[in-house]
Amino acid sequence: MATSDIKTRVNEFESTIGGVTVHGKAHSLSAWFVLALRLMMGYAFLHAGWEKIAAAEPFSATGYLMNAVPAESPLVGVFHWMGSTAWFADLLTIAVPWGELLIGMALLVGVLTRLAAFFGAFMMLLFYFSNWSVEHGLINGDFAYMLVFLAVGAFGAGRILGLDAIIENYDLGGETLTERYPKLGYLLG
């Protein structure tokens, strides 16, 4: 496609929180960047999860929580509790690598994208506090990735070359799946 063939219409969006309304217009190329963010985070999480699952030395949440979290982290006590509580550490030893793998897979194919983005953002928030380092300011890569996950979910990135678009429009006798079950919109998209 030649540059002159790009559609110049805009996508408009608006939101009101706490009485403050913001309004924006996105260029038509924005869809490609939202797709790129979804695929980038999908690959990153799939890869991170697979590396932990397939590693020669098994992943241990206990070792990480007890030894890697800096003492300066505001949540160091919470992480140490997690690491010293056997059942919780065992749960995290399974949940972290498999969660990363499943979040990555969901984002790569664009299925249950909002659900995957929510859990990806939640994991990044925990990583932000467990990797606490503020010598260069409060914003670091973990925080930025959390915002990317939130953007992927907010923009409904699973509708862009993803299975969510097909699932949402599945015909249930003259009604789409999300028309019949509107709360699925919190998981799909």
- Mean pLDDT score, 134-152: 90
pLDDT for residue 67:
86
Q: What is the pLDDT of residue 1?
A: 43
11 falls in which pLDDT band (50, 70, 90)?
confident
Question: For all residues of the chain together, what is the average pLDDT?
Answer: 90
Name which residue leads in pLDDT, 45 or 5.
Answer: 45
Residues with Cβ within 8 Å of residue 69, at least 6 apart in sequence: 75, 76, 79, 80, 130, 131, 132
What is the torsional sign of CA 59, 61, 62, 63? positive
pLDDT, mean of residues 89-115: 97
CA 81/CA 100 separation, integer angstroms = 22
Q: Which of 65-74, 79-88, 104-113 has the lowest mean pLDDT?
A: 65-74
CA angle 84, 86, 87 (to 5 degrees): 135
The ranges assigned to domains in the chain are 33-186
